[in-house]
Amino acid sequence: MTAVLFGLLSAVANAVGGELSKGLTLRFPARQLIGPLFFLNALLVVPAAPFVEWTWSAEIVVLHLVSVALLVVTSLAIWDLYDHGSAAATVTAQSISPLPAAMAVAVLLPGILEPAQVLAAIVVVLAVLLGLSNAFGALSRRRSMLTVLVAAVGTGLVTVMGRLLADRDVGVVEAYLVRAGLAAIVCSLLVPPRDVPLPALPGMLPRAAFITAHFLLILIGVQDGNPAVVQTAVATAPLWSLGIQAVVTRRRPSWRLMGAAVLATLGVAVILLAG
């Protein structure tokens, strides 16, 4: 149940962060934002670094590097989606990730995945797609769908890598700070933020805070929990996103969205019962 709770809290943080991310793409080139935002994410966690235990080995270094590579590729895909689609559609792309996460868990962490959890992942993904089917209008072309696939698979694998690091006694602060810090360097080299002025960075802190909370909650959830379970709960983020939009605009959600919310809730309930 703890894994589901952290996953749901992460979904809320991701939904808010997604809306803020889309707003930034209206002001700056999307890909140029990645490096500075990862820098801000890491900066928010730096104060905790001296107070936690750090664990190192050759295997852990390799896992860190793989995590960074996955995060960089995934982030490039996600920000391309923010650039060309809505925040809800982009969060949806990430929310298809429970299925690749479940497959990765079955291969890398045998014995901890239950059939009911696979069923729950499928139900939640179908619920999200049902609720946001009309949000993919701008993502119908082959390249866009490939980008969605990269974003979804990458998101799921990054979550699984968090559990693999946790199994080797790597703490939440270490896992996130190394990942975000190195990703900031790599992304800034790949896509120099020439059009993102330094005075603009403080205004990006709210977005950085929500996305950092999103990632930290996932890492906390997978410390002792099943990554597929955590990622399934995170997959409800688009429904939270549209719920936030409904509150802000004071418009009743569509029947399709409400039906999707019910299905997503059932999927999370299946996880709780399976646990």
Which value, to the nearest 10 degrees, does the dihedral of the CA atoms of residues 266, 160, 97, 105 take? -70
**Residue 105: Cβ-neighbour burial (10 angstroms; 0-12, 13-18, 19+):** buried
Rounded mean pLDDT, 225-233? 75
Residue range 234-273, pLDDT digits in tens? 777 777 776 776 777 677 666 665 666 666 666 666 655 5
Q: Is the pLDDT of residue 189 over 80?
A: yes
Report percent pLDDT > 90 for the chain: 39
Q: What are phi and psi of 218, to 5 degrees?
A: -65, -45
User: pLDDT at residue 203 above 90?
Assistant: yes
Q: Is the pLDDT confidence value at 35 over 80? A: yes
Instruction: Please count the CA atoms within 13 angstroms of the CA of 104 that sit on its side-chain side.
Output: 23
For the stretch 104-111, contacts whose Cβ atoms lie closer than 8 Å and that sit 24 or more positions apart, written own/partner, are: 104/156, 104/157, 104/160, 104/227, 105/160, 105/163, 105/226, 105/227, 105/228, 108/160, 108/164, 109/160, 109/163, 109/164, 109/226, 109/227
Tokens of 252: 């009743």
Confidence of residue 83 (pLDDT cuts 50, 70, 90): confident
DSSP 8-state code for residue 167: T
Full 3-state SS string of 193-254: CCCCCHHHHHHHHHHHHHHHHHHHHHHHHHCCCCHHHHHHHHCCHHHHHHHHHHHHHCCCCC
- Interatomic CA distance for residues 24 and 30, integer angstroms: 8
